[in-house]
Structure 1
Amino acid sequence: MSAVIEVMKPSRLCTLLVSGVHAAAALSFLLLPDAVRHVWGWPVWGLLLVSLGWQIHRRKSGIRRLALQEDGGLCLEPGLSGERTVGLLPSSVVLERVLWLVWQEEGRRVAMVLFADQLLPGDWRQLQRWARLRGPARFGVEPAPGRGGISSVRDPA
């Protein structure tokens, strides 16, 4: 039995963070002396635009559905053509408002960050509990007594 979690929407917090970093980079470039801006102007602005465009593209083409399995497996895009099952690595991190899910796929490490504002509150709590208790179990990483499982911050009861 598995629970399907729909990643409802892109995170507003993530959008603000990415936009803020790009704005800070643009502002720091504007504060450089005129000679430096004149020489490096187009390449720097082009790189900033490409970086921002790449971030927008990655967010639109990201994973939108997860199925949490009892054995600790994580099914990505269940019911769709790209469906695949992976297992979380112990380097995954669970915090109160953000999760970093890390898994191995085709010989490389893949990470996915999820913010609380992407999911319904009930789905968010279910995903947090699963990641702490079931996720690491597949790779033999059992939660220590009195601890939260993978790297985590205890959330209020």
Structure 2
Amino acid sequence: MKKSIVLFSLILAFTNCKNKSETNETSEPVETIEGKVSTGLLEVGCYTYTGNNSSITFEITDINKSIIGSLNYHLAEKDANMGTFEGLLIDDVLLGDYTFESEGVSSRREVIFKLTNGQLFEGYGEMDEEGICFANTDHVTFTSTMPLTKTDCTK
């Protein structure tokens, strides 16, 4: 029953994305405690990467039925992207929509992170024809050389 609820919630959250892979039948469902999603080691707060003239800041502001926060990319020799994130954590994979602005233009795309040893590693893979959603989340690789590590949030 829990697996059905989680699957239905995931489908609802990402109705704009087509051809999603099915949930792995061997994985355990996300446990709920008093209506909140159990997120294991994922915590409210900031996860950052700084190096090679680049920085990424992911501030998780709410962990409830979905994960909500702000996500900002300042990558060397690229335009800065600043926006919001809303998604779900299933097992150790955080998948969600990133709505952002870059050079005054609003855009949306799907982003995915894997939580490993308290760090978030961004995943990369083939995107759909519009370049918004992953063609198949089973084929995403988490080879990012820019891991986000839990840090103090500074304003």
- The TM-score normalised by the length of structure 2 is 0.29
Structure holding more strand per residue: 2
Task: Mark the structure with the bigger radius of gyration.
Answer: 1
- The TM-score normalised by the length of structure 1 is 0.29
Structure holding more helix per residue: 1
